[in-house]
Structure formats: structure tokens, C-alpha cells
């Protein structure tokens, strides 16, 4: 018997799959993110483009809302990229990290992301799935964002494995949760 693979078609299918994973969590459990529903919707609405690599390769997609630090100078906001800036000094930064084309579990993804951090001369971290301040500085130096210092308000990570979502992670403040599909 052949099984047909259900591919993600567009941003709505990604959104629906993330919402389905969230809905599987029991209310009141440590994995219940329902109090953050509006913030999660804001992140999902901020995804700029559907990436065809999500159906073909293992990819870690990361998106964060970053508030410019008040001590930061005003920089040119004309960065030519998919990241959005609003007039209040808040940007939505997003990136796709393509992983080697093998089957991944969460532990292997974390090891690979730490390896990639080390290649950029960054220190290993306990949770490389999420964007860290040192990565914001590198993104600024590469022209991907418009200011070099800021506070990460919230973020989401989606781990794609060739057409399906394996894990979804969220950070609100200093707390994070990783949900399995």
C-alpha cells in the first residue's frame, strides 16, 4: 500500500499545521501556549514568504520580533531583505537554515545548529534553535537587519523535515517551549 505524502502548499497550510500542533496540548500543561495565542498569531502573520525548501529539505525556520534598544543610534532602515521594520523600532527578523539532507531528530538538529554557530566563531549554546543576541549582531553586520542591539520580544522556530513539521518552538521572555508534532 502506498502512502501519499502531504506536502505543505502555502503559508496557510503551515499556519494550520502549527495551530493543529498547538491545539494538541492539554490546557494547563507546561506545554500549553494558549495564553500566548495572540502573540503566536502575530508571528505566524509575519512570515513573509512560503519557502519551497520546506517541502524538499530539512530546514529550521526562525522568526523573532525584536525591539530596538533605546540606547541604539538611528540607522538606515532601508535594508534590502525579507525582514520588516515598523516605525516604532520593532522588526520582524526571519531566516531559513537549511540542514544537510538526512533524517533528523531534535538532538541532531541542536548539534548541527551549535556546529554552525561555532563555524561563525560563536559560542555553543544550550538552545541554538532560537535566535540569540550575538546572532542579531551578525545579522546587522551582514545588512539583514537595520540596528545592532535590541531586545527579542518573542520568537518562533519551526523545524521542517521534507514537507512536514517535526517541531514548533516558542520563546516568550525568558521561557521557551518545544512542541512535537
Parallel, antiparallel or unpaired: strands 150-161 and 84-85? unpaired
CA distance 54 to 154: 22
Q: Cell numbers for 86, please give them.
A: 515598523
pLDDT single digits (tens) 29-72: 888 898 899 999 999 999 989 999 999 889 999 999 988 776 44
Q: Which of 130, 127, 148, 150 is nearest to 139 (CA)?
A: 148
Higher local confidence (pLDDT), 74 or 111? 111
Q: What is the pTM of this model?
A: 0.84
Residue 81 has a pLDDT of 42
Residue 149 CB-density burial (10 A; 0-12 exposed, 13-18 middle, 19+ buried)? middle
pLDDT single digits (tens) 130-155: 999 888 888 888 888 877 777 888 99
Amino acid at each position: 500500500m502506498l502512502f501519499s505524502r502531504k506536502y505543505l502548499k502555502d503559508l496557510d497550510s503551515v499556519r494550520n499545521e502549527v495551530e493543529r500542533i498547538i491545539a494538541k496540548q492539554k490546557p494547563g500543561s507546561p506545554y500549553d501556549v494558549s495564553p500566548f495565542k495572540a502573540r503566536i498569531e502575530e508571528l505566524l502573520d509575519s512570515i513573509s514568504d512560503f519557502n519551497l525548501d520546506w517541502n524538499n529539505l530539512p530546514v529550521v525556520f526562525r522568526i523573532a520580533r525584536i525591539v530596538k534598544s533605546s540606547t541604539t543610534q538611528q540607522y538606515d532602515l532601508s535594508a534590502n531583505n525579507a525582514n520588516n521594520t515598523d516605525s516604532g523600532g520593532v522588526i520582524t527578523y526571519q531566516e531559513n537554515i537549511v540542514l544537510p539532507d538526512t533524517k533528523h531528530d531534535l538532538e541532531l538538529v541542536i548539534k548541527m545548529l551549535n556546529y554552525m554557530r561555532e563555524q561563525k566563531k560563536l559560542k555553543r549554546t544550550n538552545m541554538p534553535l532560537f535566535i540569540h543576541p550575538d546572532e542579531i549582531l551578525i545579522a546587522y553586520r551582514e545588512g539583514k537587519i537595520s540596528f545592532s542591539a535590541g531586545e527579542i520580544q518573542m520568537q518562533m522556530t519551526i523545524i521542517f523535515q521534507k514537507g512536514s513539521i517535526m517541531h514548533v518552538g516558542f520563546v516568550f521572555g525568558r521561557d521557551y517551549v518545544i512542541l512535537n508534532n
